[in-house]
Amino acid sequence: MKRLGILMLIFASVCCAQESGNYQPSETNVWGSEYPRVDSTGRVQIRVKAPDATKVKVNFWSGPKVDMVKQPDGFWTVTTAPLVPGFHYYNLNIDGAEVSDPGTHAFFGGGRPASAVEVPEPGSTYYSAQDLPHGEVREVWYNSKVTGSWRHALVYLPPKYDTQNSARYPVLYLQHGAGEDETGWVRQGHANFILDNLIAAGTCKPMIVVMAYGYARRAGQPAPDLTGKPFGSPEMLKAMQDMAAAFEDDVTQALIPYIDSSFKTLSDRDHRAMAGLSMGGMQTFQITLDHLDLFSYIGGFSGAGGMLVLGDRKLDPKTDYNGAFADPGAFAKKVHLLWVGVGTAEPERMRAGLQRLHTSLLDANIQHIFYESPGTDHEWQTWRRDLKDFAPRLFPQISE
């Protein structure tokens, strides 16, 4: 009876959606693909051909997981309830096998290429391509002695970078989260369009943005065998700590020198920022607070504080981060901006941990910004909003 009720609900939704007639293909679709498509209320229709399948489900990673309905022509279809605006990963399950939807481009998330649909946010254009000057995103490779390998990064250069020969620019190092890679901030987050739009509006200083591959292993270090080791196990935590330490050295010893020697940067700490989402926020706090000689702007998007947040305890300003927060006055002179953000619909442990960090910083008299994205989960819409609020606060000392 429950399954019959779900099918009837889906059928009614499909009929209603077809009558409304305002569905448009998602902007994530491959060329010529009509599905998936989205209507003005945020409902998503998915259609996939699997004539020999006996059961097909759609799994939105942070949303509905529902059965699709087989049609006489061998296609399976579904119409979801309205989804919140933003970028949604999903995959299909066809007779037990998880597969991507051939109708969409692949986006690297969850440690693999995945399908996705974009539900537009009514009235929001800050992360959309608009008719105004655009910067460029370039791919670079740099040789890291830390990892003993060539490493990849994307670099956003602001409008007029190549034509204003005498200009030099501050740098924001912007990190992705776990399961994603250095392409995420451009392909999923639209960071380049966010910066373009802010710069054109005059609310953000032109800057270089570096998005690097966030996983690292020291030269000669074997990959850890984590088979059967649950998340949070000592072996898992040790592997994460080793990776974080290797990445910290890669950023400070290889990446920053490469960027400063290859691009027109302002290469002092007063013109260098770092921020990241989730795992990238944890990396940011570790790297910047260990190297306040290199960074003066710090942003944590749903990930500031790292294991401190996940460990269910308050910040100890005297001992945590090697005592970086012990002297509020000295910290304020060194750090021009400390920024922490979270979505109000994020998992309870994440929200509680970041709220606890915020309270700890208040108790320690550490000046900072605490930003809450209304109604968003641990997702790209949260982090797009974070960047929109964070970037205009950077480098106010630079005059136009």
* Domain match, 102 and 148 both: no
Euclidean distance between CA atoms 212 and 155, whole angstroms: 8
pTM of the model: 0.91
Quote the domain boundaries for residue 110: 2-119
What is the full DSSP assignment across 267-298? -SGGGEEEEEETHHHHHHHHHHHH-TTT-SEE
Classify residue 124: in a domain, yes or no: no
- CA dihedral for 379, 380, 383, 385, sign (positive or negative): negative
Q: How far is CA 43 from CA 26, 33, 222, 234, 374, in A?
A: 11, 17, 46, 43, 20
Check whether residue 109 and residue 213 sit in a common domain: no
Question: Do 247 and 167 share a domain, yes or no?
Answer: yes
**Domain end marker among 63, 87, 119:** 119
**Would you say how long the chain is, in residues?**
400
The pair of three-digit structure tokens given for residue 272, joined into one six-digit string: 């260098």
73 and 99 co-located in one domain: yes
* Co-location of 145 and 104 in the same domain: no
Q: How many domains is the chain partitioned into structurally? A: 2
Residues 311 and 276 in one domain: yes
Residue 234 lies in a domain: yes
Q: What is the largest CA-CA distance in the chain?
A: 72
Q: What was the pLDDT predicted at 283?
A: 94
Mean pLDDT, 10 residues at a time, over the chain (400 residues)? 40 43 92 96 96 96 92 96 95 96 96 95 94 98 97 98 94 95 97 98 97 94 78 71 91 98 97 96 95 97 73 82 94 97 92 92 95 95 98 88
Same domain, 244 and 145: yes
Indicate if 274 and 329 belong to the same structural domain: yes
Distance between CA 283 and CA 62 in Å, rounded? 24
Peptide bond just before 36 cis, omega within 30 deg: yes
